[in-house]
Amino acid sequence: MTMRAPITDVPIVLDAVSLAVRNVTILDNISLSLAAGAPTVLIGPNGAGKTTLLRLAMGLVAPTRGRVTRGGRSDTPPTRRAIVFQRPVMLRRSAGANLRYALKAAGVPRADRQKRVEELLALVGLAGLAPRAARKLSGGEQQRLALARALAKDPQVLFLDEPTASLDPAATKSVEDVIRAVAARGIKVVMSTHDLGEAKRIAGEIVLMHRGRIVEIADAATFFGNPATPEARRFVAGELLV
Amino acid sequence: MPQDVSALQLVLSGDPALFAIVRLSVVVSLSATIGAAVIGLPFGALVALTRFPGRELVVVVMNALMGLPPVVVGLAVYLMLSRSGPLGSWGLLFTPQAMVIAQTILIAPIIAALARQTIEDLWVEYRDELAAMDVGPAGRVATLIWDARFSLLTALLAGFGRAAAEVGAVIIVGGNIDGFTRTMTTAIALETSKGDLPLAMGLGMVLIAIVVLVNAAAWGARRAGERLAQ
């Protein structure tokens, strides 16, 4: 008797991937492997292509050239990967109903949903807020609810697009705590940020992007301690990369 | 003003002739609203969520038809249902059913256009999230209609208000037959021309009360929606 290996989304491999929209190149010949392990953080200035790279790896957009495989396959449905957008949109429902909706979409049986809602809310520090209208929560609370909603499908890979942009330090810390807790559970986190400090606090691996290309890939200690490229040196030194 | 007192007395005493007219008006406009909802909501949703050649034109025409003149609709339905018209054999001219048909045609574009705008706006907001959650087409439509339900209810109430207040279409296809196809608006027109102002004013008061009630309901629905939205 043979057993089929469970479908896995990792590693996500981008092989010479490019994306152009109306002749404007947004991603240019990107090759990158996102393997299980510590969080990968994409850094780079606005317009570097970080968001597009996340959406492409998630499977929301297709490359115009090159190939994306997940776990060695090119046709995996997005059942084991999730994304939190930079400005997550809450459904016009309560916080609990937002999570129940995501659990239903993920195929979680109805009988298990309420228990999972409570677990997810506790995980992101929003226990007791289930009946509140999701859109009336604060920015930080909405961001954490979006994280909980993304975790509803029990993903192997979690993409986060600038998850703390426009949050104050206290809200940033609470979101980063959740990200660390998620990564500690063995979920591969791939996130983008502008914030060098945040990259230092979260990253196991850094991918520096500039003008649609990958400039440097290195583990975080190497990247911050001994950046290899002039762009990385300038970025780490806090100079503007334009 | 003695005429005001008479009109008020007619309303307060529950005058049977007056309330038969009110009942017919409400039944006809409500039936037309249901018919227009059955046509307009799915059509609006379809146009909101699909892309096809000529879509822009459909949206422009749909929006333009919101201002369809009732008399023109009445004339078109009259021609269709008249004895020599293509649907003359149905024998519906000068019946309440003909009035329902005319009002349905009049308000279906209003409901379709408002539904299209509402669902499309929400779709722009939700598109990425629903794609990320891998929600299929049927689930998307159900989610959008459910989350837009208060705005869609407002669209239905707008349709009902238009139907209840119009006179041009129902007077042409209904014929304003006493006790059969006489509605509030056609009766007001007739009684005013006859000089029976108390009945006309009584009906006017009831009509305004219904319109106010409909708007109050729309307002309440909107507020209930806002409690869960922004």
CB contact under 8 A, B228 and A82: no
Q: Which whole-number Å values give the CA distances from A20 to A27, A28, A44, B127, B131, in the listed order?
A: 7, 8, 19, 21, 21
How is A122-154 classified by DSSP, letter by letter?
A: HHTT-TT-TTSBGGGS-HHHHHHHHHHHHHTT-
Element (H, E) at A40: strand A40-43
- Give the model's confidence band at A8: pLDDT under 50 very low, under 70 low, under 90 confident, else very high: confident
Element (H, E) at B100: helix B96-132
Q: What is the mean pLDDT of chain A?
A: 92
The CA distance from A94 to the nearest CA of chain B, in Å, is 7
Classify residue A59: in a domain, yes or no. Answer: yes
Cα torsion B7, B12, B18, B24: sign: positive
Task: Say how far apart CA B161 and CA B210 lie, in whole Å.
Answer: 9
Classify residue A124: in a domain, yes or no. Answer: no
CB contact under 8 A, B133 and A89: no
Predicted confidence at residue A193, as pLDDT, reads 93
Predicted confidence at residue A2, as pLDDT, reads 46
Task: Say how far apart CA A111 and CA A177 lie, in whole Å.
Answer: 30
Query: Are the C-beta atoms of B167 and B36 separated by less than 8 Å?
Result: no
Predicted confidence at residue B199, as pLDDT, reads 82
The total number of structural domains in chain A stands at 1
Query: Which residue has better confidence, A195 or A208?
Result: A208
Query: Are the C-beta atoms of B165 and B207 separated by less than 8 Å?
Result: yes
Residue B28 has pLDDT above 70, yes or no: yes
Task: Say how far apart CA A137 and CA A147 lie, in whole Å.
Answer: 14
Rounded CA Rg of chain A: 18
Name the burial class of residue A170, with classes exposed (0-12), middle (13-18) and buried (19+) by CB atoms within 10 angstroms of its CB. exposed
**Length of chain A, please?**
242
Classify residue A198: in a domain, yes or no. Answer: yes
CB contact under 8 A, A89 and B128: yes
Predicted confidence at residue A7, as pLDDT, reads 66
Predicted confidence at residue A241, as pLDDT, reads 77
Predicted confidence at residue B228, as pLDDT, reads 62
Predicted confidence at residue A10, as pLDDT, reads 86
Q: What is the mean pLDDT of residues B156-184?
A: 93
Closest CA to B27 of B127, B163, B136, B121: B163
Classify residue A117: in a domain, yes or no. Answer: no
The CA distance from B221 to the nearest CA of chain A, in Å, is 14
Query: Which residue has better confidence, A51 or B225?
Result: A51
Predicted confidence at residue B1, as pLDDT, reads 39
Question: Taking CA A90 as the corner, what is the angle to CA A89 and CA A91, rounded to the nearest 5 degrees?
Answer: 115
Classify residue A136: in a domain, yes or no. Answer: no
Q: Which chain A residues are closer than 8 Å to B230 by Cβ?
A: 135-136
Q: What is the mean pLDDT of residues B70-77?
A: 96
A5-19, A88-102, A122-136, B132-146: segment of lowest average pLDDT: A5-19
SS3 of residue B92 by DSSP: coil
For chain A, give the percent of residues with pLDDT over 70. Answer: 97
SS3 of residue A32 by DSSP: strand
Predicted confidence at residue B220, as pLDDT, reads 84
pLDDT tens string A59-110: 999 999 999 999 888 887 888 899 999 999 999 999 999 999 999 999 999 9
Residue A1 has pLDDT above 50, yes or no: no
Classify residue A125: in a domain, yes or no. Answer: no
Chain A within 8 Å of B139 (Cβ-Cβ)? Answer: yes
A198-207, A212-221, A228-237, B33-42: segment of lowest average pLDDT: A228-237
Task: Say how far apart CA B164 and CA B25 lie, in whole Å.
Answer: 7
- Give the model's confidence band at B2: pLDDT under 50 very low, under 70 low, under 90 confident, else very high: very low
Q: Which two tokens stand for residue B76?
A: 């078109």
A residues 171-230 near B, CB within 8 Å? none
CB contact under 8 A, A83 and B134: no
Name which of A92, A98, A136, A142 to mutate to probe chain B: the one with the most chain B Cβ atoms within 10 A of its Cβ: A92
Q: Which whole-number Å values give the CA distances from A219 to A12, A39, A158, A208, A228, in the listed order?
A: 17, 10, 19, 11, 12
Helix then strand then coil, % of chain A, to nearest 5: 35, 25, 40
Task: Say how far apart CA B150 and CA A242 lie, in whole Å.
Answer: 47
Predicted confidence at residue A73, as pLDDT, reads 87
Task: Say how far apart CA A173 and CA A180 lie, in whole Å.
Answer: 10
Predicted confidence at residue B202, as pLDDT, reads 85
SS3 of residue A192 by DSSP: strand
Task: Say how far apart CA B206 and CA B188 lie, in whole Å.
Answer: 11
Residue that is written with structure tokens 């449905």 in the block: A77
Q: Which whole-number Å values give the CA distances from A196 to A3, A199, A200, A239, B90, in the listed order?
A: 45, 5, 6, 11, 76
CB contact under 8 A, B147 and A92: yes
Name the burial class of residue A5, with classes exposed (0-12), middle (13-18) and buried (19+) by CB atoms within 10 angstroms of its CB. exposed
Q: Burial code of A181-201, b = ≥16 C-beta within 10 A, e = fewer?
A: ebbeeebbbbbbbeebebbeb
CATH number at residue A22: 3.40.50.300
Q: List, in sequence order, every residue forming a beta bridge with A157; answer none if it has no partner.
A: A81, A188
Q: What is the mean pLDDT of residues B26-49?
A: 95
Residue B21 has pLDDT above 80, yes or no: yes
For chain A, give the percent of residues with pLDDT over 90. Answer: 82
Question: Taking CA B143 as the corner, what is the angle to CA A130 and CA A149, rounded to the nearest 5 degrees?
Answer: 40
Name which of B127, B133, B223 to mutate to probe chain A: the one with the most chain A Cβ atoms within 10 A of its Cβ: B133
- Give the model's confidence band at B5: pLDDT under 50 very low, under 70 low, under 90 confident, else very high: low
Closest CA to B100 of B175, B190, B27, B178: B27
Q: Which of A78, A106, A133 sits opposite B227 (nearest CB)?
A: A133
Q: What is the mean pLDDT of chain B?
A: 90
Predicted confidence at residue A200, as pLDDT, reads 94
pLDDT tens string A160-190: 999 998 888 998 999 999 999 999 999 999 9
Q: What is the mean pLDDT of residues B118-146?
A: 93
Classify residue A126: in a domain, yes or no. Answer: no
Look up the domain containing A218 and give its range: 12-87+154-236
Write down the CATH number for the domain with range B16-182. 1.10.3720.10
Residue B75 has pLDDT above 80, yes or no: yes
Q: Which chain B residues are closer than 8 Å to A78 by Cβ?
A: 132, 134
Q: Which whole-number Å values give the CA distances from B126 to A89, A108, B121, B153, in the listed order?
A: 7, 21, 9, 20
